[in-house]
Chains A and B, each alone.
Chain A
Amino acid sequence: MSFSSHTSRYLSHVDWALIFSTCAIPLCGLIVLYSAGYDPESEGVSIDWLGLTIQSSAFLKQLVFLGAGSLVLLLAASIPTSFFFRIAPFAYFGGIALLTAVLQFGYVSNGARRWLSIGGFNLQPAELMKLGLVLMLARYLARRPPPPGGYRVTEMIVPALLVFAPMALIAKQPDLGTALAVGAVGVGMILFMGVHLRTLLTIVTILAVMAVPAWQFLHDYQKRRVTVLFNPDADPLGSGYHIIQSKIAVGSGALFGRGYFKGTQSQLEFLPEHTTDFVFSVLAEEWGFVGAVVVLALYVLWIYRLLRVAAKARDLHSTLLVTGIISIIFFHTIINIGMVVGLFPVVGIPLPLFSYGGSSVMTTMAALGIVLGVSLRRFQFANK
Chain B
Amino acid sequence: MASFERSTINLPFRTAAAFGVACACFVVIALRLWYLQILNGDYFRARSENNRLRTVYLPPPRGLIYDREGRILAGNRPEFNIELVTEDSPDPRATVERLATILDLDPNTLVAQLGGQKRRRRFEPKLLVRDASRDMIARVVARRYELPGVVINVNPARDYLHGDLAAHVLGYIREITSRQLDLPGFSSYRSGDMVGHYGIESQWEMDLHGERGIQRVVVNATGSKIGESSFEPEVPGRNITLTLDLDVQREADTALQKLRGGVIALDPNNGEIVALSSAPRFDPNMFTHEIPSDTWRELVTGAERKLSNRVVQGGYPPGSVFKMIMAVAGLSENVMPIGERVFCPGYYVMGARKFKCHKHEGHGWVDLNDAMAMSCDVYFYTMGQRLGVDRIHDYASRFGLGSKTGLKLAEENAGLVPSSEWKQRRFGQRWYPGETPSVAIGQGALVTTPLQLARAMAAVVNGGFLVTPHLVREIADTERHFHEEFTGERGEIDVDPQILRQVKRALLTVVQNERGTGRKAQVDKSFNVLVGGKTGTAQVVSLEQGARHKHLQDHAWFVGFAPEEKPEIVVAALIENGGHGGTAAAPAVRQVMESFFKKRRGAAVAAPGNAESGARRGSP
Contacts and interface: CB of A to CB of B under 8 A. Distances in A.
Contacts of A41: 86, 92-93, 122
Interface in A223-247: 236-237, 247
Contacts of A254: 37-38, 41-42, 44-45
Interface in A301-325: 303-304, 307-308, 310-311, 315-317, 319, 323
B216 interface: yes
A251 B3 contact: no
Interface in A67-118: 82, 85, 108
A153 B33 CA distance: 39
Contact of B22 (A303, A311, A338): A303
A147 interface: yes
A148 B25 CA distance: 28
B3 A315 contact: yes
Interface in B11-46: 11-12, 14-15, 18-19, 22-23, 25-26, 28-30, 32-34, 36-38, 40-45
Interface stretch (B48-56, B173-181, B307-315, B556-564): B48-56
Residue of B1, B32, B214 contacting most chain A CB atoms (<10 Å): B1
For chain A, the bracket of interface size reads 35 or more
A251 B5 contact: no
A240 to B, nearest CB: 12
B431 interface: no
A221 B135 CA distance: 50
B41 A145 contact: no
Contact of A343 (B32, B43, B45): B32
B515 interface: no
B34 to A, nearest CB: 7
A311 B15 CA distance: 7
A250 B18 contact: no
Contact of B5 (A288, A292, A316): A316
A253 interface: yes
Contacts, number: 147
A145 B44 contact: no
A268 interface: yes
B230 interface: yes
Interface SS, B side: helix
A186 B87 CA distance: 47
Residue of A254, A284, A334 contacting most chain B CB atoms (<10 Å): A254
Given A145-B8, A249-B48, A300 B26 contact: yes
A127 interface: no
A143 interface: yes
B123 interface: yes
Given A252-B45, A300-B22, A303-B19, A289 B8 contact: no
B36 A310 contact: no
Contacts of B36: 247, 250-251, 284, 341-342
A142 interface: yes
Contact of B52 (A148, A270, A307, A334): A270
A60 B359 CA distance: 83
Contact of B3 (A247, A269, A308, A384): A384
A323 to B, nearest CB: 8
A48 B198 CA distance: 53
Interface string B404-428: 0000000000000000000000000
Interface SS, A side: helix
B382 to A, nearest CB: 60
Contacts of B22: 300, 303, 330
B354 interface: no
Contacts of A342: 32, 36
B55 to A, nearest CB: 9
B145 interface: no
A254 B214 CA distance: 32
Contacts of B14: 192-194
Contact of B15 (A145, A147, A310, A334): A310
A156 interface: no
A371 B556 CA distance: 83
A253 B41 contact: yes
Given A334-B25, A338-B29, A237 B230 contact: yes
B34 A289 contact: yes
A383 interface: yes
A248 interface: yes
A307 B15 contact: yes
A11 B483 CA distance: 79
Contacts of A174: none
A159 interface: no
Given A41-B92, A145-B4, A300-B22, A251 B52 contact: no
Contacts of A250: 33, 36-37, 44
Closest 10 pairs (CB-CB, A-B): A251-B44, A254-B41, A316-B4, A252-B48, A316-B6, A252-B45, A289-B37, A251-B36, A311-B15, A252-B44
8 contacts: A85-B1, A250-B36, A269-B123, A284-B37, A293-B30, A319-B11, A323-B18, A334-B29
